[in-house]
């Protein structure tokens, strides 16, 4: 999948931008606060997802404007297509001239992955950030996953309520069996999907990391859970989760929380067999987060036969020249947009196209 044209009108500080990117690396460079991230955000909006940084659609409208318009021409699903996004009170998508009934219908049409500085939390923060990454990535590929996750969370909430109240209401105690069965039922589906996803992700991410580090370091990602169950089928996962819940019951009654299950699991990220969160340098952490996001794109390609467009915001800082060079010149057969402040990166770019951004405009 690749973009052939983008137009943005009254979107953030982009009053009227029109670009024709190349099929390889597109470098958007300029000083701080000129609109580089805004341009990536404009592209991202066509995925049908919410912005990776704005909470509300209204924030996307240029100050003082009532509406914004974005237009995209792209090649995807074996043909040249157009998508228009009008942002007024809400978001309205028009694909190939046909208005889509709701923004969620746009999902799965134009595919992209985004890496921005907030994604460093993937490596630097606690397990919740990595569980969210897994859940979002799987949710995009398997629409039913979101429902299992929400049913799981409901059952978990109920078990926790009972754990807290059981001391005062002994009759509630019997309902624990029911909630534990539900948790194990939905939880085993979540485990099955997450374990399967990580199996696909890990080779791609390892290859990408090897490239970035010129094979000097290895990246290893694995699904980390209290009781390892790799290779187990859904029934075995259900039985093992249920047995663990029963085993944990006595302790859980004291704390009033559920101590086992996918809500406590993690995606372990290791560089040269050491936890990246605890021991890796800034540049290594950035490289690892990038390898996870590009790995996510590779899994999507594997699954849909479409290569998502990569949007890399401010990926270069903290990386040495060799790593920067890899990102600029070795991600081939893949459309990439990279923002950076340093104009010297343009000289290092061998095949791509560079766009200078100033005050919300692309300089000619």
Q: Of 197 and 337, which CB lies nearer to ligand ATP in the complex structure?
A: 337
Contacts with 4 (C-beta within 8 Å, 6 or more apart), sequence order:
20, 21, 73, 74, 75, 80
CB of 303 to ligand ATP, least distance (A): 31
21 binds, among Mg ion, ligand ATP, none (CB under 5 to 8 A by kind): none
38 binds, among ligand ATP, Mg ion, none (CB under 5 to 8 A by kind): ligand ATP
Residue 91 binds ligand ATP, judged by CB under 6 A: no
Q: Of 14 and 237, which CB lies nearer to ligand ATP in the complex structure?
A: 14
Q: Of 41 and 135, which CB lies nearer to Mg ion in the complex structure?
A: 41
Binding site for Mg ion (CB under 5 A): 37
Contact flags string 306-335 toward ligand ATP, x per CB under 6 A: --------x---------------------
CB of 248 to ligand ATP, least distance (A): 46
Q: How far apart are CA 118 and CA 131, in angstroms?
A: 15
Chosen residue from 18, 33, 80, 143 binding ligand ATP by CB under 6 A:
33
CB of 74 to ligand ATP, least distance (A): 22
Residue 119 binds ligand ATP, judged by CB under 6 A: no
CB of 208 to ligand ATP, least distance (A): 24
Contact flags string 45-74 toward ligand ATP, x per CB under 6 A: --------------x-xxx-----------
Residue 37 binds ligand ATP, judged by CB under 6 A: yes
Beta strands 68-76; 98-99: pairing state: unpaired
CB 238 within 8 A of CB 246: no
Q: Of 29 and 209, which CB lies nearer to Mg ion in the complex structure?
A: 29
Residue 12 binds ligand ATP, judged by CB under 6 A: yes
Binding part of the chain for ligand ATP, among 29-37, 155-163, 195-203, 243-251 by CB under 6 A, reads 29-37
Q: What is the 3-state secondary structure (H, E, C) of the chain?
A: CEEEEEEEEEECCEEEEEECCCCCEEEEECCCCCCHHHHHHHHHHHHCCCCCCCCCHHHHECCCCCCEEEEEEEEECCEEEEEEEEECCCEEEEECCEECCCHHHHCCCCCEEEECHHHHHHHHCCHHHHHHHHHHHHHHHCCCHHHHHHHHHHHHHHHHHHHHHCCCCHHHHHHHHHHHHHHHHHHHHHHHHHHHHHHHHHHHHHHHHHHHCCCCCCEEEEEECCCCCCCCCHHHHHHHHHHHHHHHHHHHHHHCCCCCCHHHCEEEEEECCEEHHHHCCHHHHHHHHHHHHHHHHHHHHHHHCCCCEEEECCCCCCCCHHHHHHHHHCCCCCCEEEEECCCHHHHHCCCCEEEEEECCEEEC
Residue 35 binds ligand ATP, judged by CB under 6 A: yes
Number of residues that bind ligand ATP (CB under 6 A): 17
Chosen residue from 253, 341, 354, 356 binding ligand ATP by CB under 6 A:
341
Beta strands 353-358; 112-115: pairing state: unpaired
CB of 291 to ligand ATP, least distance (A): 22
Binding part of the chain for ligand ATP, among 31-39, 185-193, 202-210, 211-219 by CB under 6 A, reads 31-39
Q: Of 69 and 164, which CB lies nearer to ligand ATP in the complex structure?
A: 69
Summarize as ranges the residues that interact with ligand ATP (CB under 6 A).
12-13, 30, 32-38, 59, 61-63, 314, 339, 341
């Amino acid at each position: 999948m690749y973009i052939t044209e983008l137009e943005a009108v009254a979107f953030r500080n982009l009053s009227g931008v029109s670009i024709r990117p190349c099929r390889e690396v597109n470098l958007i460079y300029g000083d701080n606060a000129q609109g580089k991230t805004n341009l990536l955000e404009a592209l991202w909006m066509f995925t049908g997802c919410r912005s990776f940084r704005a909470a509300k659609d209204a924030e996307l409208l240029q100050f003082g404007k009532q509406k914004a318009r974005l237009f995209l021409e792209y090649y995807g699903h074996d043909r040249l297509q157009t998508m228009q996004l009008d942002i007024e009170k809400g978001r309205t998508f028009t694909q190939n001239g046909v208005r889509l009934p709701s923004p969620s219908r746009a999902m799965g049409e134009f595919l992209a992955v985004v890496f921005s500085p907030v994604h460093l939390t993937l490596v630097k923060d606690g397990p919740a950030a990595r569980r969210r990454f897994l859940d979002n990535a799987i949710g995009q590929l398997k629409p039913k996953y979101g429902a299992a996750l929400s049913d799981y969370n409901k059952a978990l909430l109920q078990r926790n309520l009972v754990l807290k109240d059981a001391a005062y209401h002994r009759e509630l105690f019997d309902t624990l069996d029911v909630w534990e069965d539900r948790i194990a039922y939905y939880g085993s589906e979540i485990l099955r999907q997450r374990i399967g996803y990580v199996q696909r992700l890990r080779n791609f991410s390892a290859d990408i990391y090897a490239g970035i580090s010129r094979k000097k370091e290895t990246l290893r990602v694995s699904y980390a859970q209290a009781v390892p169950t790799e290779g187990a089928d859904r029934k075995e996962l259900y039985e093992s989760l249920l047995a663990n819940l029963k085993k944990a019951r006595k302790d859980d009654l004291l704390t009033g929380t559920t101590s086992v299950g996918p809500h406590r699991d993690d995606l372990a990220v290791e560089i040269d067999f050491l936890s990246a969160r605890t021991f890796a340098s800034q540049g290594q952490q950035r490289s690892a987060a990038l390898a996870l996001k590009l790995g996510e794109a590779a899994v999507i390609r594997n699954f849909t036969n479409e290569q998502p467009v990569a949007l890399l915001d401010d990926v270069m800082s903290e990386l040495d020249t060799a790593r920067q060079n890899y990102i600029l010149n070795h991600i081939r057969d893949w459309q990439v947009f990279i923002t950076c402040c340093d104009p010297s990166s343009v000289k290092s770019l061998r095949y791509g196209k560079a766009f200078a951004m100033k005050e919300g405009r692309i300089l000619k």
